[in-house]
Amino acid sequence: MIPFLVALLAILFLVFSLKRPRSRLLLPPGPKPWPLIGNILDMPVVRPYEKYQEWCEAYGSDVIFLHLPTRPIVILGSAKAAFDLLDKRSNIYSDRVTSVLLELMEWGFNFGFMAYTPRWRAHRRMFHQYFHQGIVNKYQSAQRQQVRTFLSWILEDPANTRKHVRQLVTSIVFFVTYGKKIASMDDEYVLLAQDAVEGVGKATVAGAYWIDLLPIIKYIPSWVPGTAAKRLAEEYRPRVVSMRDKPYLEVRDAVVSDSKAHLYAPPLMTLPDTEQRKYGGTEDEATFDEIAKNVSGLAYTFSACSSFLLAMAMFPEVQKRAQAELYRVVGPSRLPDYDDISQIPYIRAMMMETMRWMPVLPFGVPHALIADDTYKSYHIPRGTMVIYNKSPPYNSLWFRAILHNEEDYPSPNAFKPERFLDEDGNMDPTVQDPTTIAFGFGRRICPGRYFSHNTLSMFIASVLHVFDITAGVDASGKPIELSMEMAGGIIS
C-alpha cells in the first residue's frame, strides 16, 4: 500500500509541476525537495512551529517555500511578512485549503475552515451580528456570573483546576449561545467539546496525513495499511457531529414545542422569519437553520485561561503586582467587575501578554492564495498554502517567531505585562498589540475576539483577586516543576 501511495504522489507531483506556470522570478528559499515527492518527508508532525522557525533561521528569510505534491506551502516567520501579505493583500490571501480529513470528521461546518465563498460570508455575517465589538458587552453579566461560579469550584476542588477551566469555557459559550447551564465538569457537552477540539488539533498539522495530498485515499477502507487518516476520522466524527447538533436541536425543539420557551432561549434561536430569510437558502449559500446550528457550535478557543494560570505560577512577581492593583481599585470586600478592569491597565496588559506568551494557535489556520503574487522579488504561485508561525515559548535563544521576536518583545520567554505600558502605567500604543496577530489576519481574523477579550479579562481579575496561584506539590510534598513547552499541532 505504501509503495503505491509513494508512486501516486510522484506522478501527481510531476503532473502539477508541468501544469504550474513558470515565472522568471525565483521561489522563496527553503529545504531542498526530494526528487518526485518534494518535501513531504521533511514535514514535521510534532510541534511543527519549532521546525518552521528553524527553517527561517537556517535560510535567513522570513518567507520559506516547501514543495509538496499538489500543494506548495509558504511559511511566514515575521509579523511584517504576515501583515504585508495576509492583511494588506487579503483580497487574494483569504482562501482556505480544503482539508479532506476535516471534511471526513464533519468539521467542515466550522466557517474558520471554509473556503472564501458566499457560504463562508453568510456564516461570518451571522456570527458578526451577535459578536461584534458594539454588542458583546451585553454578554458581560453572563460571563461575570460564570466566572464567579468557577471561583467556587476551585475553592472546593483545586486539584481539578484544569477540568474546571474547561467547564467554565464551555459553560460561558453554551449559556450565551443556547441559554443552557452546564451541570458539572463531566457534563456530556463539556466532554464532547473537548474531544471534538482534540480531533481537529490532530487533523490540521500540514503534511501529517497523506489524505489531503491524495484525496483518493478517502475511498480506501480504513483497515487497509496506510489509511491512518481514515481511522482518525471514524474515531472523531461522531463526537464532532454530536457537539455541533445536539445542543442546537435541543433548544430549537424546545422553542418549537413551548410557546414560552422564547423567553429564555438565546436571540439566535428566536429570529423572526423575516430575519431568517437574510441568510441564504440558495444553492451557493447555507440555509438559516444550518448557519444558526453551525455558528452556535463555535468558540471553544479560550484555553488561554490555562496559559494564564501557568504564567502566574511561574512568575509570582507579576501575580503580586496585579493583586496589589486589584486591592487598590476593588478593595477587599467585593469581587471585581468590568468597570474596575477598565481602571486597571495592568490587567489589560496581562490579557495581551497571555495571548502573546503562549498563543492557543501557534501557527494559525493556514490561508490559501487565489492568484499568483510577488513578494520581495519572490514568486508565490496561485494555490499556495500560507502558514504564519506565531510560536509559543521555547528555550533556545535563537528561536524567534512572530510573537517571540526579540525586536518587538524583548526577553520574549518572560511573562512581562509591563512591556505594553508606558512610564505612567497607561497602555503604550507604540508596542505591537499581540491580539492583532493571535486572532489572525485580514478577512479571516477571528470574529469572536472581542467576546474572548471580555472572558479572559474577567477571568484574570477575578482569579487573582481571590486566590494565590502556585504550582502545588506532588505526592511526596515536593514542589512541582512547571514547563513552558507545549504539545499539539494547530491547537496547543
Q: Which residues are annotated as part of the binding site?
A: 446
Taking residue 55's Cβ as centre, other Cβ atoms within 10 Å add up to 20
Q: How far is CA 304 from the centre of its chain?
A: 10
Q: Is 24 helix (H, G, I), strand (E, B) or coil?
A: coil
Across-strand partners of 385? 73, 368
Identity at 483, one-letter amino acid code: S
Total Cβ atoms within 10 A of residue 462:
21
Among candidate residues 38, 104, 112, 98, the one with its CA nearest the CA of residue 383: 98
Which cell is 125 given?
455575517
Cα 218 to Cα 355: distance, rounded to the nearest angstrom = 37
Distance CA 123, CA 119 (A): 7
Measured distance CA(406)–CA(439) in Å, rounded: 20
For the annotated binding site for heme, the residues are: 446
Cell (9 digits) for 488: 499539539
